[in-house]
Amino acid sequence: MSAFDLIAGVLLIASALAAVTLKNAVHAGLALVGNFLVLATVYFALEAQFLGWIQIIVYAGAVMVLFLFVIMLLFDAKADVGAGRMPWMRPIAAALAAVFFLALAYAFSGVGPVHPLAEIKLAGGLPGPLGQLLYGPWLYVVLLIAVLLFAATVAAVVLVQPGVRGARKKPQVLERERELEEVDR
């Protein structure tokens, strides 16, 4: 284990813990950005350079910025408003996380890599050799992901567009209707 491994591991765990425990959602989001940046350096070290850059561009650059937009749009930075309905859940959640971690740690114990890394020509994980794979054996998956992104765009647009398309009702009318519904129940 080199010094890089040690520092990267500590930083990864610390930033992930910060992301789940910090009370301020903006702080948590920024901790997650830090986590993604460290993760990208780990990818570089594992000879997955293109993936590392994509990780920075898409996750840290696009996804997390959308997250921060949403948090700030909704003024939701203070995350623990109204929390504490079930305080006894916290230790249980922590215990379950520990059990899951221990089970996986056991699964990984004594397992070496299936293919020794030195045998495979990773070529630094640059886009050149990666493109041969993406537009070769993985072409079907790439096409499907294009369809998936299109469907997700349609779904996201449908999800946020206002529902009623007819004439808009006045607030007083809506209020009266709601009262009538209450009486109905």
Partner 1 sequence: MTTLWILFLTALAATFVGFFAPARTAKVFTLLGLVAALVSLALGWGEPLSAYGGLYVLDPFAQGFTLVMIVGGLLALLADCDYFQRKGWPPFEYYALVAFAVLGGHVMASTAHLGVIVVGLELLSIPLYALAASRRDEASYEASLKYFLLGAVAAAVFLYGIALYFGATGGFVLGAAGSGPIYAAAVMLLLAGLAFKTALVPFHWWTPDVYQGSPAPVTLFMATAVKAAAFAAFARVLAAVGLEGPVFYALAALVLLTVFWGNLTAMVQGEAKRMLAYSSVAHAGYIAIALFGPDPAPAMGYYLLAYALSTGLAFAVLTQLDDGRGVRLGELAGLWGRSPLLGLGWTVALFSLAGLPPLVGFWGKYLVFLEAARGGQYLLVALALFAAVIAAYYYLKLLGAALFAKAEKAEKIVLSGSTPVGIALATLLVVLLGVLPGLGFGLFTAANAIVR
Options 46, 144, 173, 174; binder of partner 1; rule CB under 8 A:
144
Cα 43 from Cα 108, distance rounded (Å) = 20
| Nearer to partner 1 among residue 7 and residue 179 (C-beta) | 179
What are the distances in angstroms from CA 3 to CA 7, 10, 13, 148? 6, 11, 16, 41
| Nearer to partner 1 among residue 92 and residue 148 (C-beta) | 148
Options 75, 80, 87, 165; binder of partner 1; rule CB under 8 A:
165
Residue 183 found at the interface with partner 1 (CB under 8 A): no
| Nearer to partner 1 among residue 87 and residue 113 (C-beta) | 113
φ and ψ at 84, to 5 degrees? 90, 15
Over the range 135-157, which residues count as b (16 or more CB within 10 Å of their CB) and which as e? eeeeeeeeeeeeeeeeeeeeeee
Smallest gap from Cβ 156 to partner 1, in A, equals 7
Contact positions vs partner 1 (CB under 8 A) = 103-104, 106-109, 111, 113-115, 137-141, 144-145, 147-148, 150-152, 154-159, 161, 163-166, 185
